[in-house]
Every structure is written in structure tokens, then in C-alpha cells.
């Protein structure tokens, strides 16, 4: 990859870190300065004819740096917005490169296949002109905030699940329990854990009026289309596992609404701060992201930024699912902590899972261990650059950070370093976006309480 300006602040344990935002902004400045830049319009078509447009400028000669910029931007947009049909309006050579890259034999075949699963249609790339990219047409889904009545909220993660009983917006019972859904091969495992948790919460309520849920994965119409939680379920049993929430609704006979955990993170922030324009980021077993626009609406975007690139270092670690390098899951999650252990000089017993390894690092941090501090400082540098990168794709005024990785003193250090990066390298972004963290208890269970507000009660 051609050289570009190094980051203003380097990541202590990752000197090869090449922030996506630095590369992109460097490329755009150089392209415009060349006097040869031409428009490129990317349209991402989703269900029901919904479409997101993204407009940028590129050099027309399809050089290596241009192809790198466009391919990484397309990859980011696919996982941020989602879409089964990709419209590329601009230089034909660039469009054909993207078509080949996202073909069944291309380097990004995983991404195209996942979009096909999410939207139930074969993934397509349409190479066209700027003028022929369809007009923007976004969804506008009113987001939660229904607090009246007796409700149950749950949040399903890869290493633990949380459930809350809520009366008129106030939690009266909250529970957090470990589980191992990614290893379970029988759909009954997922159902019985969730069903038992719901009954434990219901025991603290005079009645149950509604159930709201937050779950990792791609959720469409209360059905799991793709999720690491079900990664070990045999293909023949997947449809039964994916319909778990609809089964819950039939059994409880109350309104049930389940959404992606990232969107519920954003909703939790909006409810606590009473502010729209919210990007919520949960750093747990993976990275979960959600977005409410400045009118307080959910746009129907995927927001699966765990798969979106944030580091353009060609030697960055590869994601186990997609095989791609430098994606968010390995920078803002328990996986990020584990990735940095060797560079920090910390060895863990091989039998320890990621949640236990994080706990060990948190314990060391509480004792003032500088090796643990370097891990959090590095994640904080990652995060500061990622916030600036996300701001180029999302209209954000408030950013809420949740999740296991952000608990304790380490989380405070992550935020401090992220703020330092923004203030020194991206002062305009720092002035526009306010970073928020809830109190310690809400960091861990706030999503379950927010999820409870998703369903609208029947009248």
C-alpha cells in the first residue's frame, strides 16, 4: 500500500496501526489536489426498495491507492448501511474491480454471501454512471421509549445474557448470567436459557404486558437472519433456532419486539440523555453498534461495524469469520484485549476464555499494573481514530459507550485516550460529538432495560 501520513498519536502496543480515517482523508486531499478527481456515487439497496447513497471523489485511473480507498469504503458501507444490491456510479474500471472483488470467487465473497443471507436475495453489483444511481430512500422506524406497564427486557450476548423486570420505566429486578451459545448445537439450549430467564423476571412483576429484546446478530422481523450466537447450530436446525423470538411471543401472548443489540445501545443512550443523533457502541464479546438519527429514528441500517474496517495495516489480524483484516471486532471487544496480551507482556493460561482473560486484565488494572494500562491505552487510541472515521459516515452528535470492556478503571482510560486523539488530531469532530458513559451498573445491564421499552402496548 502506498505510504501516507502517520497517525498523530500512535497506538502504544500496535505501532503498525494505520487508521482508516487517516488514509481516507489523505487520499481525498491528494485526489482533489490533483485536479483530476471525478465523482463516485455508491448506492446500497435494501429491502422494500430502500436505498442509501454515499457520494465521494476519486481519481479516475483506478490506481492501487484509489482501488484501496473505494474497496474499503464499500466494505464499510455494506456493514454500516446494508444492502443486497450495490450500485457503483463512476469510472467503469473501478466498478468492475468492485464487482470482481465481491463476486462468489472474489476476496470479499464472505461479505456478499452475508448480505444475501440478511436480505434473502442474491447479492449484485451494478456498474453504472453517477446519474443512474437511484435516489436516496431511507426507512424511518420510531424507536422504543415506551415505558408504561410491566415489561421484561433481555439482552443476549456471546458470553452472557441479561434480563430485567421493569415497571413504568424503573427496573425492579436485573440479572446477568453466563452462557455459551456459540458452542451449543441444539436450538433448545438457546430457548431454555431465554425462557427460564423470562420466567425469573416475571416472578418480580404482577403481570407481563410486553417483552423487548436485544440480541447480537442481524435481526429482521423478530427473526435471526445471521448471528454468531447460532454459529454451531446445524443448517437443518437453523430455522428453528432463528424463530426463537416468535416462539416466545406465541407462548407469552404479549407484544414482543427484538432488535439488534447495537440499535438498543443507541436507544439506551437516547433514553438516558434524552438526546437524538446518537451512536451507541457496546464493547463486549464483539463490537455492537446502533444509530438513532437526529430526529430520533432508526433508519433500518445494519450497523454491524464489527465487520467494518478501521485499520488499513495489511499485517493487521484477520477476523475469524470473514478472513478480512483490521475490522472493528478485533479493536473494540474482548477479542481486542486478547489480541494485545502478547504485546503487553501478559501470558494467560490457554484454558481461559475471553471473558475470563478480560477479568484478569481488569484485576491487574485495578492494582495499577502498567501492562494492563497499555492495553486500555491502545484501545483508546484505536477508538479515537474510529470515532473520527465513523463521523464521516454517520451524522452523530452524541456517542454512548457500553459493554464489559468499558467497565472499571480501564474503561476510563479508553475514554481519556480517545478524547485526546480527537482533540489533537480531529478538533472539529471533538467539538461536534459529545462522548458519554452511563454509570457502572448501566454500562453492564442498561441494554436490557432499554430493550424492555421497545414494544408498544396494545390498546
Delineate the domains of the chain, giving CATH numbers in brackets: 34-132 (no CATH), 160-260 (3.30.420), 265-448 (3.30.420.40)
Complete edge-to-edge strand list for the sheet that includes strand 170-178 = 170-178, 160-167, 150-156, 210-215, 256-260
β partners of residue 398: 278, 434
* Cα separation, 211 vs 253, whole angstroms: 10
Are the CB atoms for 134 and 192 separated by under 8 Å?
no
CA-wise closest residue to 444 among 332, 334, 284: 284
Q: Cα-flanking dihedrals φ and ψ of residue 257, to 5°?
A: -130, 125
Q: Which three cell numbers stand for residue 96?
A: 468492475
Give the number of C-alpha atoms closer than 13 A to the C-alpha of residue 348, restricted to the C-beta side. 22
- Strands 85-89, 38-45: parallel, antiparallel or unpaired by DSSP? antiparallel
pLDDT (0 to 100) of residue 51: 95
Q: Please tell me what DSSP assigns to residue 48.
A: G
3-state helix, strand, coil in the chain (%, to 5): 45, 20, 35
pLDDT (0 to 100) of residue 133: 97
CA-wise closest residue to 138 among 454, 400, 395, 434: 395
Q: Which residues of 90-115 are buried (b: 16+ CB within 10 A; e: fewer)?
A: bbeebbebbbebbeeebebbbbbbbb
Q: In which residue are the cell numbers 480501564 written?
A: 410
Q: Which regions in the chain score pLDDT beneath 70?
A: 1-5, 140-144, 274, 439-446, 459
Q: Which three cell numbers stand for residue 29?
A: 486531499
| Length reported for the chain | 459
Q: In which residue are the cell numbers 428453528 written?
A: 240
pLDDT (0 to 100) of residue 169: 86
pLDDT (0 to 100) of residue 439: 58
pLDDT (0 to 100) of residue 141: 67
CA-wise closest residue to 246 among 264, 221, 218: 221
Q: Cα-flanking dihedrals φ and ψ of residue 93, to 5°?
A: -60, -35
CA-wise closest residue to 397 among 436, 445, 344: 436
Give the number of C-alpha atoms closer than 13 A to the C-alpha of residue 398, restricted to the C-beta side. 23
Are the CB atoms for 65 and 27 separated by under 8 Å?
yes
Amino acid at each position: 500500500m502506498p505510504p501516507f501520513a502517520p497517525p498523530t498519536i500512535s497506538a502504544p502496543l500496535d505501532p503498525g496501526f494505520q487508521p482508516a480515517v487517516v488514509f481516507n482523508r489523505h487520499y481525498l486531499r491528494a485526489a482533489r489536489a490533483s485536479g483530476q478527481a471525478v465523482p463516485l456515487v455508491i448506492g446500497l439497496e435494501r429491502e422494500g426498495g430502500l436505498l442509501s447513497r454515499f457520494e465521494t471523489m476519486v481519481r479516475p485511473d483506478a490506481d492501487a491507492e484509489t482501488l484501496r480507498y473505494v474497496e474499503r469504503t464499500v466494505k464499510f458501507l455494506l456493514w454500516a448501511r446494508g444492502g443486497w444490491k450495490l450500485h457503483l456510479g463512476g469510472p467503469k474500471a473501478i466498478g468492475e474491480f468492485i464487482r470482481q472483488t465481491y463476486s462468489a470467487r472474489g476476496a470479499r465473497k464472505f461479505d456478499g454471501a452475508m448480505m444475501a443471507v440478511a436480505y434473502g436475495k442474491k447479492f449484485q453489483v451494478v456498474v453504472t454512471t453517477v446519474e443512474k444511481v437511484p435516489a436516496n430512500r431511507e426507512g424511518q422506524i420510531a424507536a422504543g421509549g415506551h415505558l408504561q406497564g410491566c415489561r421484561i427486557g433481555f439482552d443476549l450476548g456471546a458470553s452472557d445474557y441479561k434480563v430485567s423486570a421493569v415497571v413504568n420505566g424503573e427496573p425492579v429486578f436485573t440479572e446477568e448470567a453466563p452462557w455459551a451459545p456459540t458452542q451449543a448445537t441444539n436450538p433448545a439450549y438457546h430457548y431454555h436459557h431465554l425462557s427460564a430467564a423470562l420466567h425469573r423476571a416475571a416472578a418480580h412483576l404482577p403481570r407481563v404486558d410486553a417483552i423487548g429484546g436485544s440480541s447480537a446478530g442481524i435481526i429482521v422481523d423478530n427473526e435471526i437472519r445471521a448471528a454468531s450466537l447460532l454459529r454451531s447450530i446445524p443448517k437443518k436446525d437453523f430455522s428453528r433456532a432463528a424463530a426463537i423470538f416468535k416462539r416466545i411471543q406465541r407462548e407469552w401472548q404479549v407484544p414482543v419486539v427484538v432488535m439488534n443489540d447495537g440499535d438498543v445501545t443507541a436507544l439506551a443512550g437516547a433514553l438516558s440523555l434524552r438526546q437524538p443523533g446518537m451512536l451507541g457502541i457496546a464493547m463486549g464479546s464483539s463490537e455492537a453498534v446502533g444509530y438513532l438519527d437526529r430526529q430520533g429514528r432508526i433508519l433500518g441500517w445494519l450497523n454491524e461495524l464489527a465487520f467494518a474496517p478501521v485499520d488499513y495495516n495489511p499485517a493487521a489480524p484477520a477476523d475469524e469469520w470473514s478472513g478480512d483484516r483490521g475490522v472493528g471486532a478485533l479493536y473494540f471487544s474482548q477479542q481486542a484485549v486478547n489480541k494485545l496480551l502478547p504485546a503487553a507482556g501478559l501470558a494467560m493460561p490457554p484454558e481461559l476464555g475471553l471473558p475470563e482473560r478480560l477479568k484478569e486484565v481488569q484485576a491487574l488494572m485495578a492494582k495499577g499494573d502498567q501492562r494492563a494500562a497499555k492495553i486500555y491505552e491502545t484501545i483508546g487510541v484505536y477508538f479515537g481514530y474510529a470515532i473520527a472515521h465513523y463521523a464521516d459516515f454517520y451524522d452523530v452528535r452524541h456517542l454512548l459507550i457500553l459493554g464489559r470492556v468499558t467497565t472499571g478503571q480501564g474503561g476510563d482510560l479508553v475514554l481519556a485516550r480517545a478524547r485526546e486523539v480527537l482533540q489533537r488530531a480531529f478538533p472539529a469532530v471533538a467539538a461536534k460529538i459529545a462522548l458519554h458513559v452511563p454509570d457502572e451498573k448501566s454500562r453492564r445491564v442498561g441494554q436490557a432495560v432499554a430493550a424492555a421499552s421497545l414494544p408498544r402496548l396494545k390498546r
